[in-house]
Structure 1
Amino acid sequence: MAMPLAADLIGALPGPALLIGKSQRIEAANAAAEGLFGAGLLGRHYAVAIRQPSILEAIEAVQGGAASANARYLARRDGRDTTWKAQVKPIGDTFLVTLEDLSATEEVDQMRRDFVANVSHELKTPLTAMIGFIETLQGPARDDAAARARFLATMQREAQRMHRLVEDLLSLSRVEATERMRPRDTADVALTLASVLTMLAGKAEEAGVTVQFARPDKPVLINADPDQLRQVFSNLVENAMKYGAQRVELHLAESEHIPELRRPGVVVDVIDDGPGIDSMHLPRLTERFYRVDTHRSREVGGTGLGLAIVKHVVSRHRGRLRVASSEGEGSVFTVCLPREP
């Protein structure tokens, strides 16, 4: 068996680690290794205890004279798949196996791949349509005035859609870049809401939507980025108008204690009488490119990034976003913001 000092050193390592002796049996293992491979490792042959071929091959390579060897180990812990990097090194007549959890890195890489795939798809669809129309205009529809006007109108819509997507992508990038930086400016939430409604007044009238906001007589001041706050509430109000609401109400209230924040702040409710959202969709609403109704979202010009931007801005302000909705009963989007993030 391993000397006491070796066992103590293995036990002090933060990640899973075990020591394999000349007899090919495990001479020392820490608690993290037992949590990963199971209890009762001491004295067992390493091939029986570990079993996964990739690590066994790495151990055999070091036993054969290699200075070190690496392998990937796949496991399942706490109901989720995990990925580990195993490293095997010789120490005298023994072999040290240590493991590093790569799960978080793998998840980030997968998110990046998904994001690139989604952006590519969102851009490819309008681009393909525009290329097809251009080819038609260069050929059969060259001298057809009616077809030319129809195709050009469609191309304009598709170009505007790509423009909105690029703008939202740039906005999301800017928000993520500043998410760890607490806002230092002062914003009047009441003035921000009023300016949003002024900006969207034309769209509301065109869509036949009534928007109401009882603006307080005095400013409602918090430490915040005024431009980002304006983006949050314009996204929420515009979403309500896009997806079938006939009436949108904004409620603003100050509170000396917001339970979710455990401090004073403001609460803004954006309430609409639209078709509502099935509860199954609520946990995923703020995911990038997640849409409850993909076809309708594209019809009304949605990019699938608006609520993701809202979530990041609210997080930057150390606030909370709540969504309450059910089919046929409208929706309430609640933004809680502390006075000092």
Structure 2
Amino acid sequence: ETRRRLVADIAHELRTPLSVMQLKLENYQQAGHHVPPEMLLRLHDEVIRLSQLVDDLHILSLAESGRLSLERKPLDLAMHLERIVDDVKYEAEENGLDVCLYTISSPVTVMADARRITQVFINLLTNAIRYTPRGGKITVKIEDRVFERNAFFACVSVIDTGIGIPAEELPHLFDRFYRVDEARSRHTGGTGLGLSIAHHFVKAHCGFIRVASQSDEGTKFTVFLPIGQ
């Protein structure tokens, strides 16, 4: 059943960009026109989306099966997040959003794979940018030594003032290809795998993600990464 659903998901996701490329080429060929450079650029964008989808599916399958390789090293989470926030600030500002990082003065060190952790927060921040209207705000907060589940964690919260998520949708948020709003998600791009990848990457670090949200009241994702593991 799991394999059947995966095949159906892949077929569904690949069908749309392939159909777009085929239709555009057929229209120009039937009209007797050569394919103009701007059309090639649009087709190139679809190819990039397909390539990203295949890459995401591959890495997600590794994470789901417990075969994701991690290069764990001591990581100063505060300094690492400063670089990540700097990387997304331009996109946020282009969308009329303010991004703020609130950290603490002392180092927050976790044993983590820096590349995988980067993708976790890039995915969460990209999601926040995508669903926060112009004039909104995205806040990133770091806390150290939070006691949860009989252990101490470093916590990073990504909080937006966006459109929020209905309560009934929250249990499915980290499912592969799950979209709260199909039309809205397709319009804003993405492969539909970002949150699922973030969830499994954090889980591979023996951590977890908690989400709190309501429609029209913004969303808060909190990543818990164990200290000393």
TM-score between both structures, scaled by the size of structure 2: 0.90
- Alignment partner, residue 223 of structure 2: 335
The aligned amino acid for 1:264 is F
The aligned amino acid for 1:301 is G
> For 2:89, which of 194, 198, 201 is the aligned residue?
201
What is the total number of aligned residue pairs between the two structures? 227
Q: Does 1:241 align with 2:129?
A: yes
- Alignment partner, residue 4 of structure 2: 113
- Where 1:323 maps in the other structure, the secondary structure is strand
For residues 290 and 216 of structure 1, what CA distance do their matches in structure 2 show?
35
Distance 1:182-1:206 versus aligned 2 partners, 3 A rule: closer
Q: Does 1:268 align with 2:156?
A: yes
For residues 122 and 32 of structure 2, what CA distance do their matches in structure 1 show?
40
Give the CA deviation at 1:298: 1.6
- Alignment partner, residue 23 of structure 1: none
- Alignment partner, residue 174 of structure 2: 286
User: What is the 5 A alignment of 1:1-341?
Assistant: 110-140=1-31, 142=33, 148=36, 151-176=39-64, 178=66, 184-245=72-133, 246-255=136-145, 257-260=146-149, 262-341=150-229
Greater alpha carbon shift after TM alignment, 237-246 vs 320-329: 237-246
* Matched-pair identity in %: 38
Retained in 2: the 8 A contact 1:297–1:303?
A: no
Distance 1:167-1:207 versus aligned 2 partners, 3 A rule: farther
The aligned amino acid for 1:304 is G
For residues 65 and 113 of structure 2, what CA distance do their matches in structure 1 show?
14
Retained in 1: the 8 A contact 2:62–2:68?
A: no
- Where 2:221 maps in the other structure, the secondary structure is strand
Give the CA deviation at 1:149: 5.9
The aligned amino acid for 1:258 is F
Give the CA deviation at 1:243: 1.2
Structure with higher Rg: it is 1
For residues 71 and 41 of structure 2, what CA distance do their matches in structure 1 show?
42
Gaps of 5+ in 1: 1-109
1:269-326 CA distance string (max 9 Å, x none): 1100001100010000000000001112122112111111111111111112111000
For residues 313 and 185 of structure 1, what CA distance do their matches in structure 2 show?
15
Gaps of 5+ in 2: none
Give the CA deviation at 1:151: 3.9
1:41-93 CA distance string (max 9 Å, x none): xxxxxxxxxxxxxxxxxxxxxxxxxxxxxxxxxxxxxxxxxxxxxxxxxxxxx
For residues 184 and 155 of structure 1, what CA distance do their matches in structure 2 show?
39
For residues 184 and 44 of structure 2, what CA distance do their matches in structure 1 show?
19
Distance 1:142-1:323 versus aligned 2 partners, 3 A rule: same
The aligned amino acid for 2:8 is A
Retained in 2: the 8 A contact 1:179–1:315?
A: no
Greater alpha carbon shift after TM alignment, 176-185 vs 195-204: 176-185
Instruction: Using CA pairs under 8 Å that are at least 6 residues apart, name the structure with larger relative contact order, 1 or 2.
Output: 2
Give the CA deviation at 1:163: 2.6
Give the CA deviation at 1:141: 5.5
Retained in 1: the 8 A contact 2:163–2:217?
A: yes
TM-score between both structures, scaled by the size of structure 1: 0.62
Aligned-residue RMSD, C-alpha: 2.1
Give the CA deviation at 1:181: 6.7
Distance 1:191-1:173 versus aligned 2 partners, 3 A rule: farther
